C-alpha cells in the first residue's frame, strides 16, 4: 500500500470518527428508518474511501458527506422506482400464471435498467424524449417530430445522438 493510500485511509478514519454519528442522525431524519440510515451512512463512507476526491481539500466535511449521501439516496430511489416499474410490467405481461423473477434476475435487470436510465437522464431533453418515443413508445420519426415541434431530420439526429451518447458511456464503464 502506497503512502497516499495510507494518508487517504487515515483521512477517512478521521472523517468517520468526527462525523459518522452526525451523518447517521441526519440520515435517520431524512429516511425515517434507522436501518436504512445505517446502511446509507456505511455506503457514504465506502464511496468516500473509493472515490478519487482529494480529502485534504475538503473544508466543509458535513457538506461533503451530505452531498455524497444525498446522491446515494437519489440513486437508491431511482433504483427502487425502476424495480417497481419492472415488477409491474412483469405482472402486466405474465400475470399470476408465470413465476416471478428470482432475486438474482431482479437484481441483474434492475441494475441494467438503472444504468440505462442514468445514461438517458444525462442526455439533453429533446434527444432523450426522441429516443424514448422512438424506442419505447414505437412512434415514427414524423410523429415524434410533430410532438417535439421539430423536423423529421432533426428527430433522426436526436435519436442518433442518444444512441451514440449511450454507446460512449457504455464504453467508459
Q: What angle, 0 to 180 degrees and rounded to 10, lies between the N-to-C axes of helices 61-94 and 34-50?
A: 110
Q: Which three cell numbers stand for residue 31?
A: 429516511
User: Distance between the two ends of the chain, CA-based, in angstroms?
Assistant: 25
CA distance 69 to 145: 40
Taking only the tens place, the pLDDT of each residue in 127-166 is: 989 988 888 888 899 999 999 999 999 999 999 988 888 7
Q: What is the pTM of this model?
A: 0.61
Secondary structure class of 122 (helix, strand, coil): coil
CA 36 from chain center: how many Å? 17
Residue that wins the pLDDT comparison between 56 and 28: 28
pLDDT at 156: 94
Taking only the tens place, the pLDDT of each residue in 83-100 is: 887 777 777 777 766 677
Whether the CB-CB separation of 145 and 152 falls below 8 Å is answered with: yes
- Split at pLDDT 50, 70, 90, the class of 69 is very high
Amino acid at each position: 500500500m502506497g503512502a497516499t493510500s495510507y494518508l487517504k485511509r487515515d483521512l477517512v478514519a478521521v472523517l468517520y470518527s468526527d462525523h459518522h454519528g452526525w451523518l447517521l442522525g441526519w440520515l435517520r431524519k431524512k429516511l425515517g428508518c434507522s436501518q436504512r440510515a445505517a446502511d446509507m451512512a456505511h455506503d457514504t463512507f465506502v464511496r468516500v474511501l473509493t472515490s478519487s476526491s482529494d480529502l485534504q481539500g475538503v473544508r466543509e466535511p458535513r457538506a461533503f458527506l451530505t452531498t455524497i449521501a444525498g446522491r446515494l439516496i437519489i440513486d437508491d430511489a431511482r433504483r427502487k422506482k425502476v424495480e417497481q416499474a419492472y415488477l409491474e410490467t412483469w405482472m402486466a405481461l405474465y400475470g399470476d400464471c408465470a413465476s416471478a423473477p428470482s432475486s438474482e434476475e431482479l437484481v441483474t435487470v434492475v441494475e441494467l435498467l438503472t444504468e440505462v436510465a442514468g445514461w438517458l437522464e444525462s442526455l439533453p431533453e429533446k434527444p432523450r424524449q426522441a429516443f424514448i418515443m422512438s424506442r419505447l413508445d414505437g412512434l415514427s420519426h414524423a410523429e415524434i417530430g410533430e410532438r417535439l415541434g421539430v423536423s423529421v431530420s432533426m428527430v433522426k439526429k436526436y435519436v442518433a445522438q442518444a444512441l451514440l451518447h449511450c454507446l460512449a458511456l457504455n464504453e467508459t464503464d
